Amino acid sequence: MATELWKLSATELARRIARGECTSVDAVEAHIARIGDVDRSLNALVVKRFDAALAEARDADRARDEGRSLGRLHGVPITVKESLDVVGLPKTWGLRSRSKSSSAVQDDPYVARLRAAGAIVLGKTNVSQLLIFYEADNPVYGRTNNPWSVKRTPGGSSGGEAALIAAGGSPLGIGTDIGGSLRVPATFCGLSAMKPTQGRLPDTGGPPIFAGQTAIESATGAIAREVADVVLAIECMNGGRNPAAEPPRPLGDPHALDVSTLRIGYYSRAGSFAAAPGVARAVEEAAGALHQLGARVVPFDPPYPDHAEELFYGILSADGVAGARAVLGRTRRDRRVADLMKYASKDRAGIARTIGFLKLLGQHRLARVANTYGFQDTSHYWQLVAEQAEYRRRFAEALDRAASGPIDVLLGPACALPAFAHGESRTLGTIGAYATMYNVLGYPAGVVPITRIGRDEEVGRVRSRDWVEKAALKAETGSFGLPVGVQVIARPWREHVAFAVMLALEAALRKRPDYPRTPIDIA
């Protein structure tokens, strides 16, 4: 039935449209209807272009009927993160000072490539203010809910994409990732995603709060219910597997790679912050599935993850958040953004007093992160960049010199916790380097859904004075049934290797009863 087309993947929709088994108008109308059913509960799609999408769908159907050449996403509806330009639509980054009536004069380069492949944009999805915390909530558009539990966040900053796709309102979306902004929403909502190698698909649409620094760059990536759709989107955004653009960034073929030839390292803990029991189990089960497929699967301890976390916060706050203050101006600040501005803008003397106060209260984790703030000088920034280069060298060396032989792929948590309650990223923004480590390294990192939290896994840590641990315990409590994915990391420029592992895991585990089957019917 046409009304059930929202349940299909982007790849399957493209196939059916190309064969004449359904029309693009059918597909677009089915998704518009689905959005009408679910988005009252989610608030995920914040800018609509339904009339334009239907007009484009009619054009797409005429092109097919006339026998014209069809792109790989011909007639397929998609959605786009609010921070990425779509011609004629506003981009606010969650700031009231940016007029909602202002319109982009051209598409973001990767939006343009997807549209050139035939995709039809339904609209834009919600984000965190300035794209800097793990929720999709801002003073302009309000809060987006997770379709698995509307009391919890879908993650961020690409959380609107994740929520809408998980609920069936879109089969495929694109977002950005500078510290887990695609991967955390993917694991919170039971989806697949890919953050490509730093430099492959650089994000040019975000707020210029880190302008001038190139040590850690935001990447544009894709998110969907099925891995094949993420592969297809990344290939289209890359300009094909072997693009003609300069410099060329070729992509390998994940379908041509036998995972039994790979050596895979896995870990369920990175640094001082422990993963929730269900998150750790997901990694163990993914490792076991790959072992059954013939891969060489071995334990691996990522070197110095806490240092990676410190580098992440130190590099991105090296200007004392002056860039963020300039973009914010006098506009209303989300309280999570206001907290960051308050602490990260202090000088070293102010930070020293903050650290002393936090230690007095027993908040040693927050004190360690706070110690990365307050330098605000070029010399210290250069030192951090040098430390990052050394960290990258040592990490690659650890992969090369693993006791079992060189590691091809890593498996680990995308986030230490399942989806947490709204507002909790105010405390849970510093929950280890699980995602941010691979932004520091610049490695390609994907997420694939694995399982759901079991009834006996709702509480995995003891009560503590530590504010972060207390918030983590709150997130674990009542988390039964929430989805969990694993992160699949490959070496730079080897996205196809990560994709091969993600496809293998999806095929091996998706028939299990605890696999996070989406979309969730929340109507």
Looking at the annotation, which residues are catalytic? 81, 157, 181
d(CA 435, CA 452): 20
| DSSP track, 463-485 | --S-HHHHHHHHHHTT-TT-EEE
Query: What's the token pair of residue 433?
Result: 């380097």
Helix 10-19 to helix 227-237 angle, to the nearest 10 degrees? 80
DSSP assignment string, 96-156: TTS-TT--BSS--HHHHHHHHTT-EEEEEE---GGG-SSS-EETTTEEPPBTTBTTB---S
Helices (H) and strands (E) in the chain, counts: 18, 13
Supply the DSSP symbol for 300.
Answer: -
Structure token pair of residue 391: 């960290």
Task: Spell 161-180 as b/e; 16+ CB within 10 A means b.
Answer: bbbbbbbbbbbbbbbbbbbb
The string of DSSP codes covering 268-297 is: S--SSSPPPHHHHHHHHHHHHHHHHTT-EE
Give the containing element (helix H, strand E) for 369.
helix 364-370
Q: Would you give the DSSP letter of residue 221? A: E
d(CA 496, CA 444): 10
Sign of CA pseudo-dihedral 215, 216, 222, 226 = positive
Buried-state track 430-458, b at ≥16 Cβ within 10 A, e below 16: bbbbbbbbbbbbbbbbbbbbbbbbeeebb
Q: What are the two backbone dihedrals, phi and then psi, of residue 418, each rounded to the nearest 5 degrees? A: -75, 180
Say if residues 222 and 10 touch (Cβ distance below 8 Å). no
**Of 490, 409, 478, 498, nearest in space to 442 by CA:** 490
